[in-house]
Chain A
Amino acid sequence: DIDDVGHKYYLELELEDVLDKDRTVSCTAEVLYPLGSKTSAPDVQVTVQGELRSTEEADQEFYNQMRSLEKELEAENIPDSHGNIPPELEPIHLLAWVASGFLIWQNSTENTKFHLAQVKRVKQVKRSDEDLQFDYVLLLHEMVSQEVLPWEVTVLWHPQNGARVSQS
């Protein structure tokens, strides 16, 4: 408890690489939930102890593939009702996770627990600069209220510059 400010949490976490189950990385974080105000995102400071796996080659391949598509990518329901994800949409799904992380951070309080339930829709948007742009409609599931609600979010991504997420 920090008087007049909010509640601060000190966390020790272990990150598991979803694509390489044996790979884990430790990190520490400090999360400060502001008092009262419902519209302010918690303040988060993270320190990663160790290295994250390099994905340069796969990143570049994905980037080239998306840039060279004749028609902009459009897809719905990832995963589908049965939990399936077509292999070629895996990177799109992973990028959606990044976007959902941003949304969850922006909308979390000490009384919420969000997960990405499904990518309802994704549309690639052609850009004149070097970035890839994907406009997503994401379904987020909130555990306490059990609501599953759609959120619109835009992701800009570039192999060297990483992801930039903005809420539509």
Chain B
Amino acid sequence: IQLDFWLAPRGLGLPVDIRVPFPSLQAVKVHLEASGVSYSIMIEDVQALLDEEQMEMLRSSRQVPLDTDTFNYEAYHTIDEIYSFLDLLVAENPNLVSKLEIGRSTEDRPLYVLKFSTGGTNRPAIWIDTGIHSREWVTQASGVWFAKKIVQDHANNEGVASILETMDIFLEIVTNPDGFAFTHTKNRMWRKTRSKHSGSICVGVDPNRNWDAGFGDAGASGNPCTETYHGPYPNSEPEVKSIVDFVKSHGNIKAFISIHSYSQLLLYPYGYTETPAPDQQELDEVSAKAVAALSSLYGTKFKYGSIITTIYRASGSTVDWTYNQGIKYSFTFELRDTGRYGFLLPAKQIVPTAEETWLALKVIMEHTRDNLY
């Protein structure tokens, strides 16, 4: 019967604790009842407890990973853990990856961008950012996965390796570090930056309304206490200004992709006006291909279109500015899901989300490479 005594028989009148394997359960119960031995069930399902404990251990094991192969991509991480990851990745791949500090946040946290390059000088480049809205945790987590994926593809000479022959990739994973830290310590639902501008007790500016494209028009709020507050003036937020400065001084960025969650959408300009973008048709075609690629992996359905027709009017948004700067392939993603978990996407969906999104990103990157302008 394979009974496992957790408290062995000690003497008359003293209790005995037994773990009973499932197949023996009936036999044991029948035997005890027939013998007039009273019993109670202390734990109904030991395996369930063990499974829970395993999960707990994995979740709480904040051991410092020694390399990017032991890093846990299936969990959400703190800003310190992600910043350590950046350094590990660079240390392991010094000929491919470098870390740039493009500025500092309101609370003086460094704003880091990873540069993936196989050489050349100021090659045409692709920009990807995640985590501009801090509560959208699946995006920073996906960014970490993308970083590792780029390195792996290059090592195996597959995937984006061919893109890296002629182009550079820039990846900013924690685009809003102050907000991100705040979601870990104080308020999981924080979206904006953590800036304080005079005249209000309320904190923070929506970094996706702070760009100089239709700034302050309908589609953003002038009230500092709201989630879509555009800020006192364009680029008032260092998190935004640092990217603006970087893009302008680089001068050769050909695709710009800003990643958000949730809603499962692929969007292109404009958000601040109903006037279609001049390249609307091409952007729409690329979007259709990208969404099909994404969907091919796990069947995740995405809708696509311009910001204003697909999601809502939004002014001062990132890709409206980048598009007006001449970066034709400007896209915004809204990743999983469509509302069941929303911002609180279970960690086990991180890798599938990153994997499928990567397929869409590759479509955009390859189209950019094949249609340089």
Contacts and interface: CB of A to CB of B under 8 A. Distances in A.
| A and B co-occur in one complex | yes
Interface of A: 18, 79-84, 86-87, 115-118, 139, 141, 143-148
A117 B59 contact: no
Given A82-B59, A82-B75, A146 B349 contact: no
Contact of B227 (A115, A116, A145): A145
A26 B362 CA distance: 37
Interface residues of chain B: helix, strand, loop or mixed (majority) = loop
Contact of B341 (A83, A87, A143, A146): A83
B189 interface: yes
Nearest to B190: A148
B88 interface: no
B182 interface: no
A81 B228 contact: no
Contacts of A115: 339, 342
Contact of B347 (A83, A116, A118, A144): A83
B226 A79 contact: no
A83 B136 CA distance: 12
Interface string B320-349: 000000000000000000011111111101
B279 to A, nearest CB: 27
B191 interface: yes
Contact of A81 (B48, B188, B312, B342): B188
A79 B344 contact: yes
Interface string B37-78: 000000000001000100100010000000000000001100
A133 B184 CA distance: 32
B344 A117 contact: yes
Nearest to B59: A82
B138 to A, nearest CB: 9
How many residues of B sit at the interface, in one of the four size bands? 20 to 34
12 contacts: A82-B59, A82-B346, A83-B347, A84-B347, A86-B52, A116-B342, A117-B344, A141-B189, A143-B311, A145-B221, A145-B226, A146-B227
Interface string B261-301: 00100000000000000000000000000000000000000
Given A82-B76, A87-B48, A141-B342, 12 more contacts: A80-B344, A81-B137, A81-B188, A83-B349, A84-B59, A84-B346, A141-B189, A143-B263, A145-B226, A145-B228, A147-B226, A147-B227
A119 to B, nearest CB: 10
Contacts of A117: 189, 342-344
Contacts of B311: 143
A86 B346 CA distance: 12
Given A145-B226, A147-B227, A82 B340 contact: no
Contacts of B263: 143
A154 B170 CA distance: 49
A144 B344 CA distance: 19
B344 A118 contact: yes
A80 B137 CA distance: 13
A69 to B, nearest CB: 15
Contacts of B206: 146
Contacts of A148: 189, 227
Interface in B334-373: 339-347, 349
**8 A-B pairs with the lowest CB-CB distances in the bound complex, closest first:** A83-B346, A115-B339, A146-B227, A148-B189, A83-B344, A79-B344, A81-B188, A82-B347
B18 to A, nearest CB: 24
A84 B346 CA distance: 6
A122 B347 CA distance: 23
Interface in B59-103: 59, 75-76
B232 to A, nearest CB: 19
Nearest to B225: A147
Given A82-B75, A83-B347, A18 B227 contact: no
Contacts of B339: 115-116
Looking at A83, A84, A117, A144, which has the most chain B CB atoms within 10 Å of its CB?
A83
A16 B26 CA distance: 38
B312 A143 contact: yes
Interface string B192-214: 00000000000000100000000
A146 B191 contact: yes
Contacts of B184: 81
A148 to B, nearest CB: 4
Contacts of A139: 189
Contacts of A84: 55, 59, 346-347
Nearest to B221: A145
B346 A81 contact: no
Nearest to B339: A115
Looking at A80, A81, A143, which has the most chain B CB atoms within 10 Å of its CB?
A81
B340 A141 contact: no
Nearest to B56: A84
A43 to B, nearest CB: 23
Nearest to A83: B346
Contacts of B343: 117, 141
